[in-house]
Amino acid sequence: MQSPCEAGSDAAPQSVPETKGTFCPQARRRYVLIAAILASALGFIDGSVVSIALPAIRADLGASLVDAQWISNAYALTLSALILVGGAAGDRFGMRRAFVAGIGFFIATSLLCAFAPNAPFLIGVRALQGVGAALMVPGSLAIIAKAYPKAERGRAIGIWAAASALTTALGPVIGGVVLSAFDDSVWRAIFAVNLPLGGLAIFLLLAKVPDDTPTDKRKLDIGGAALATIALGSLAYGLTSGAGGVGPVAFIVVGLVVLAIFLWWEAKTDAPMMKLSLFSIAAFSGANAATFCLYFALSGILFFLPMLLIAGWGVSEAQTGFIFLPLSAAIALLSGFVGRLADRIGPRLPIAGGSLVVALAFAGLALLVGSGVRQFWTGVFPLMVLMALGMALVVSPLSSAVMTAVEDDDTGAASGINNAVSRIAGLVAVAMLGVVVAGRYAAVVGDMSGVPGFGEPGNLAADTEALRIAASDAAFAAIAWVTAALSLAAALIAWMTTPGIGSEVPAADAREAEI
């Protein structure tokens, strides 16, 4: 078999010797790192900036709250369902080829998003964008691991994680400033900017990086991916549509049935995308249950809070962007210390304690908003800082708990499952909490007509406007209480299932950059 550098590609020079332990020679590894950072920026910024842009998107396209949920969830659906297959595609077809394909498809569909004429079109292309992300997101870290030898890999991943944290932190702030400075149609630039960033990443990969040889000839679990997409899509549609009526219930039932078929398929197929036997390990199941509860809560708050602030309270997009800053900053600054702490005392206390801090922060949001106190810098922002500190205590130890719960040969599968669980949690949160928001909002508004829905600004008479804002506060407070309860549940699950003092836990990895 030819070595990767000998086989090469049409775009990359052929006369470079292979470096032992990696497909990429030393002089070209920096291009891999730059391309991975650029691709990570595309994926990480997309989710947070789109949340801030949703009020502008709704105003420009006339989108409803359900439309807004699906603008987020269409992307999350295909990414959640396909990310495990996307990660395996790099091994099956070659890491560089799969990574380039993912970036190319992502930026092509991003351009379609930028030119969307209406909400249904945007929802459809957001689903396609998630397909590209399913190849791109796992590929960014995997190609670094394959391009760098073990002796240099930790430093490269550290640079990637730090740069990813920086872009994740600054992206929403910069996006918020841009949204505040121009009219509602500027949201299209958020998607269009993916073209130069992604284009540069593709150029570096094709022109500067040699091709690599596929390492795994197993077939991809396309059947499992299709079943997962149908199951998650049906469940999300049924939950988004509301709890009442035959239609939503039917979709939920179909989703549960297809989910059962998916589990049967994964147990029987030769190359499953999800290794179900890992869930027989109590510590692994507990860590993933805590992950689901915590990321459900986090995703719900980060989706609905920007709409409350911008459309309900009249806070500018520039200010609203700062709610994402503490999370990225705290994780970047504290994850190393917390990882070393977990090495000494085990992951149980940091995960349970951090989850409890998050629960207190969300309960504080519920009390603040529910009492009608509409203060951003002295109210909402400090509570988001508290939440960020709690998450910084959780992220690295939670990753360690997942990895150490399984045998060394299963760490890749375990990490992929945990990543997918966190994304599925976000998908379900946006769908399910939308029902809570809509129901509580309608209960406060009552029979009064002419009041816009949650997250829709209105030019209303003073008494009607006061009712709209009060209903928005009540609706958000309701979901904040739900998320506080789930964060508390995560703390209890972690305390009961996670190893404590004396457990052997490896140093924290770069999982924090995937938030």
Question: Each residue of 429-449: pLDDT tens digit?
Answer: 999 999 999 899 989 988 776
pLDDT at position 229 is 93
| Token representation of residue 11 | 């775009």
- 188: pLDDT confidence band, cut at 50, 70 and 90? very high
- 387: pLDDT confidence band, cut at 50, 70 and 90? very high
Task: Say if residue 405 is in the same domain as residue 428.
Answer: yes
Task: Say if residue 261 is in the same domain as residue 299.
Answer: no
Task: Say if residue 173 is in the same domain as residue 34.
Answer: yes
Residue 17 has pLDDT above 50, yes or no: no
From 272, 304, 336, the end of a domain falls on 272
Task: For the beta carbon of residue 30, count every other beta carbon within 10 angstroms.
Answer: 15
Highest mean pLDDT: which of 10-19, 102-111, 130-139?
Answer: 102-111
Task: Say if residue 324 is in the same domain as residue 396.
Answer: yes
pLDDT at position 15 is 32
Task: Say if residue 331 is in the same domain as residue 373.
Answer: yes
pLDDT at position 265 is 94
Number of structural domains, the chain? 3
Q: Do residues 340 and 466 make contact, with C-beta atoms less than 8 angstroms apart? A: no
* Between residues 213 and 490, the one the model is more confident about: 490
Residue 508 has pLDDT above 50, yes or no: no
From 180, 200, 219, the end of a domain falls on 219
Question: Each residue of 19-46: pLDDT tens digit?
Answer: 556 788 888 899 999 999 999 888 877 7
User: Containing domain of residue 16, as a range?
Assistant: 1-219
pLDDT at position 245 is 58
Residue 484 has pLDDT above 50, yes or no: yes
Task: Say if residue 206 is in the same domain as residue 229.
Answer: no
Give φ, ψ of 2 to 5 degrees: -70, 145
Per-residue pLDDT averaged across 303-328, rounded? 92
Scan for tokens 């179909």, then name that residue.
Answer: 254
Residue 488 has pLDDT above 90, yes or no: yes
Task: For the beta carbon of residue 260, count every other beta carbon within 10 angstroms.
Answer: 12
Question: Each residue of 344-354: pLDDT tens digit?
Answer: 888 899 999 99
What CA–CA distance (Å, rounded) separates 119 from 121?
5
What CA–CA distance (Å, rounded) separates 515 from 493?
21
- 244: pLDDT confidence band, cut at 50, 70 and 90? low
CATH code of 362's domain: 1.20.1250.20
What CA–CA distance (Å, rounded) separates 98 from 109?
17
Residue 260 has pLDDT above 90, yes or no: yes
Closest-CA residue to 224 (of 12, 81, 340, 87): 81
- 514: pLDDT confidence band, cut at 50, 70 and 90? very low
| Token representation of residue 164 | 């990813």
Residue 73 has pLDDT above 60, yes or no: yes
Task: Say if residue 354 is in the same domain as residue 415.
Answer: yes
Query: For the chain, what is the mean pLDDT?
Result: 86
Task: Say if residue 123 is in the same domain as residue 195.
Answer: yes
From 272, 289, 304, the end of a domain falls on 272
What CA–CA distance (Å, rounded) separates 201 from 195?
10
What CA–CA distance (Å, rounded) separates 236 from 72?
11
Q: What is the DSSP letter of 311?
A: I
Task: Give the helix ranges, DSSP H, for 309-376.
Answer: 317-320, 325-345, 348-370
Residue 418 has pLDDT above 70, yes or no: yes
Task: Say if residue 244 is in the same domain as residue 326.
Answer: no
Q: Do residues 456 and 312 make contact, with C-beta atoms less than 8 angstroms apart? A: no
Task: Say if residue 198 is in the same domain as residue 247.
Answer: no
pLDDT at position 198 is 93
What CA–CA distance (Å, rounded) separates 383 from 363?
9
CA distances from 352 to 105, 348, 377, 398 (A): 39, 6, 28, 10
Task: Say if residue 212 is in the same domain as residue 230.
Answer: no
Task: Say if residue 95 is in the same domain as residue 169.
Answer: yes
